Amino acid sequence: MLLILASLYVVWSRHESFEASAVFAIIFSAIYLTTYLFIPPVLKVTSMRLGLLFGYVPLVSLAAVLFPELNPSSPVPVTRFLGWVGLVVVFLILCVMKIFVW
């Protein structure tokens, strides 16, 4: 899904210059995904709540950073800020879980 969102962003903004926050969000999401999948310990038990937290929240947050204009109810900077908050908070939760819980 990270590759799909990044590809959509490249196609969507091909006639404009890339924004630094979007590029950093893609890089940060790749670091998050690498940490989640390849750095031990890996959680053996699957749970719907953990899947929502570690799967969908970063995905929606990345989409909010890359495509903030799709949220007409709030300004673009607010949507981007909330997307970054989602990415960073879930990454911190993941790091705490990998270090202290799992």
The amino acid at 37: L
pTM for this model (two decimals): 0.85
Segments making up each domain of the chain, as ranges: 18-101
The reported pLDDT for the residue numbered 59 is 93
**Cβ-based burial of 54 (10 A; exposed 0-12, middle 13-18, buried ≥19):** buried
The kind and range of the H/E element at 13 are none
- CA-CA distance, 95 to 15, in Å (whole number)? 37
- CA-CA distance, 80 to 98, in Å (whole number)? 27
Nearest alpha carbon to residue 5 among 75, 56, 46: 56
Would you place residue 78 in the very low, low, confident or very high pLDDT band (cuts 50, 70, 90)?
Answer: very high
pLDDT, tens only, 36-64: 888 888 766 667 777 778 888 999 999 99
